[in-house]
Structure 1
């Protein structure tokens, strides 16, 4: 069986189209194209095929697994292995499909559980960070001044969340939109809505000035 470059190109093009419709089908087509190319490379360079088969065998891969990795027939793999030494008993029984590449071994890394979590030192009595939100949150100080600073910070944050304008005065439409239902704010919202309707009838815009 000779390498069909036209068929190989057709498989790649069909795989590209299939990615837009059925990813699983596209992957299968791409794998078929890759296998076709690998088989041709094996025929062109039998010495490389023999090298790959023997290396995978030494790593502990079985006959079927070697066949899947190098995309060679079972008979071709068996022919290479007929004079090969026995597979080492302690070898790992599986091999990654990409093991035919000359990928270097991974470098050892420090396991995260060995890293010590940072723990802040207690603030000294005369530390200027006492009485601040930073002292309460980042340095875990629970003295009365730091506790009051935290309460003040949270209260201000609730009244004026980040990214929002400062709270409007009572008796305005924007204050009503933020949830206030006092008489002044309800009156302002009603008046603004009425003004919007009047402008729509007159064919004007829908922008209402702050009241």
Structure 2
């Protein structure tokens, strides 16, 4: 049974909203959190407030840690990519070479911008 089905079953047997909350709490099923600022999904929708940026940062740190714990994840995404090296922690020869080449290109772009008198971060 899914959590949603369990919550709906509890809600259908509860006498009122307080009873429903109490039963869900006893079962360890918290009611769905209303998403707003401070949620990574809000960041994905375009919000760039401090709370949403922090939520996205934390989400990415957790996802990267999860990917690094699973060595087969790098196999699923494919080797020979810079992102497989940086996001999944793969250090095979093709991924290392791709990262080295990407870093070389990024430095060349920075030198070129610097020579043209442009500033700014990013790629």
TM-score (norm 2): 0.34
TM-score (norm 1): 0.21
Higher helix fraction (1 or 2) = 2
Q: Is the radius of gyration larger for structure 1 or structure 2?
A: 1
Structure with greater contact order relative to length (CA < 8 Å, sep ≥ 6): 2
